[in-house]
Amino acid sequence: MTDTIPFNRPHVTGDEFKNIADAVQRGHLSGDGHYTRACHQMIEKITGVHNTLLTTSCTHALEIAASLLDLAPGDEVIMPSFTFVSTANAFVLRGARPVFVDIRPDTLNLDESLIEAAITPRTRAIAVVHYAGIACDMSAIGAIAERHGLTVVEDNAHGLGATYRGRQLGSFGELATQSFHETKNIHCGEGGALLVNDPNLMSRAEILREKGTNRSQFFRGAVDKYTWVEVGSSYLPSDLLAAFLLAQLESFDVIQARRMHIWNTYRDELAEWAAARSVTLPTVPDDCEHPAHLFYLLLPTLDDRQAFIAHLRSHDVQSVFHYVPLHSSPMGIELGGASATCPVTEDVSDRLVRLPLFPDLADGDIERVVAAVRSFDPTGHAPRS
């Protein structure tokens, strides 16, 4: 009997425990200590963004972003339906209505050609998601936002270190968010970051993250006492989590190289099999560098996808589908999502499946995954040996 290859196994570099012990030794275990500051520097080095705030999750970073927009009830935020619930929840919690726009069939990102038709006098922002860390067309989306005076928020949960036309994701929107959940390339179990590209928003972002107080300014000596100045919450992680995260960030290049090797092996080994069976592999436009976050396949039909997952399971390989469309979910419908037209989202959501991809996947395991995939035949022909 062979061990099942999981979809994900959180990677640990080995330095996490040393850092945590050091954090304990330093005696500062709450947020914004030595390790949080070191993480901010590392994230800034990777993304090129100078104002970074570690948060307890990408979800919470999105919530701060939504608060910074000062949304009024009835304001609208354009976003894909093909995303995680947090992209929508963050804005809904602040009173806005999500307006779901369909995705492109190649990159599975917000279809920039459909955005302008969804803009109304109530539209305040465009929330983009770089699916699999492959960039949206930020040139077109930036131009639309500028034309209509809209804020761009990048949900860059997948895309740390990826680029669009040579520029890092997370540096395009006025605000951007990262995830350090254990399924992400770099993680601390649960964690995230807010990247603030509009310097005018930074001081309020700090306040919202620190329970609505100006405590951060107080610790910098900018004010002589700290007090309650806005409605906020507690969005800063313990320095223990930052200590864990720093070890990961310091291994970024090594982790990325291993993930890229796995991603490239899947692409090279599965291209011919896929082409012969109407299976689609990820599309990476020429002007995008991806971060090897996800390797997905689009099977010809929903039945094929379900049969594929079962087939891989019978070969002791775990594969998983991804987002369920938001516009047609119970909450999405309550928010008016039934009027959204998202045929690509509905189609892709049914047919997409993700393969195991994590740094500790051994070469033998990669071969096992490839062999299991290649022995599946969605067209009903006899499997190859």
> What CA–CA distance (Å, rounded) separates 256 from 10?
14
- Shortest Cβ distance from residue 223 to ligand PLP (Å)? 31
Beta strands in the chain (DSSP E): 52-55, 76-80, 97-101, 123-129, 151-155, 163-164, 167-168, 175-179, 192-196, 288-289, 296-298, 352-354
End-to-end CA, the chain: 20
- Give, to the nearest 10 degrees, the angle between helix 302-314 and helix 343-351: 20
Which region, judged by CB under 6 A, interacts with ligand PLP, from 56-64, 233-241, 285-293, 344-352? 56-64
- Give, to the nearest 10 degrees, the angle between helix 202-209 and helix 58-68: 130
Question: What's the farthest any 2 CA atoms get from each other in the chain?
Answer: 76
Q: Does 80 bind ligand PLP (CB under 6 A)?
A: no
- Shortest Cβ distance from residue 147 to ligand PLP (Å)? 26
> What CA–CA distance (Å, rounded) separates 60 from 58?
5
By rule CB under 6 A, what string of x and - marks binding of each residue 210-229 to ligand PLP?
--------------------
> What CA–CA distance (Å, rounded) separates 202 from 37?
16
Q: Does 248 bind ligand PLP (CB under 6 A)?
A: no
Which region, judged by CB under 6 A, interacts with ligand PLP, from 63-71, 79-87, 208-216, 263-271? 79-87
- Shortest Cβ distance from residue 5 to ligand PLP (Å)? 21
- Shortest Cβ distance from residue 64 to ligand PLP (Å)? 12
Judged by beta carbon, residue 86 or residue 248, the one nearer ligand PLP is 86
- Shortest Cβ distance from residue 323 to ligand PLP (Å)? 8
Judged by beta carbon, residue 192 or residue 237, the one nearer ligand PLP is 192
Which residues touch 312 (CB under 8 Å, ≥6 apart)? Answer: 318, 319, 369, 372, 373, 376
Strand partners, 54: 193
The count of other CB atoms within 10 Å of the CB of residue 132 is 24
By rule CB under 6 A, what string of x and - marks binding of each residue 167-206 to ligand PLP?
------------x-x----------x--------------
Pairing of strands 352-354, 97-101: unpaired
Which region, judged by CB under 6 A, interacts with ligand PLP, from 53-61, 139-147, 165-173, 304-312? 53-61
List, by residue number, the catalytic residues. Answer: 184
By rule CB under 6 A, what string of x and - marks binding of each residue 147-166 to ligand PLP?
--------x-x---------
Q: Which of 51, 67, 86, 349 binds ligand PLP (CB under 6 A)?
A: 86
Judged by beta carbon, residue 308 or residue 323, the one nearer ligand PLP is 323
By rule CB under 6 A, what string of x and - marks binding of each residue 346-365 to ligand PLP?
--------------------
Q: Which of 99, 103, 129, 207 binds ligand PLP (CB under 6 A)?
A: 129
The Cα-based distances of 201 to 4, 194, 221, 323 in angstroms read 47, 11, 20, 31
Q: Which of 19, 51, 81, 83 binds ligand PLP (CB under 6 A)?
A: 83
The count of other CB atoms within 10 Å of the CB of residue 271 is 12
Q: How many helices (H) and strands (E) does the chain have?
A: 14, 12
Q: Which of 54, 58, 366, 369 binds ligand PLP (CB under 6 A)?
A: 58
> What CA–CA distance (Å, rounded) separates 70 from 64?
10
The count of other CB atoms within 10 Å of the CB of residue 272 is 10
Helix locations, 126-275, DSSP H: 138-148, 202-209, 215-219, 239-250, 252-275
- Shortest Cβ distance from residue 195 to ligand PLP (Å)? 14
Q: Does 57 bind ligand PLP (CB under 6 A)?
A: yes
Judged by beta carbon, residue 58 or residue 208, the one nearer ligand PLP is 58
Which region, judged by CB under 6 A, interacts with ligand PLP, from 54-62, 165-173, 215-223, 256-264? 54-62
Judged by beta carbon, residue 54 or residue 58, the one nearer ligand PLP is 58
Which residues contact ligand PLP by CB under 6 A? Answer: 57-59, 83-84, 86-87, 129, 155, 157, 179, 181, 192
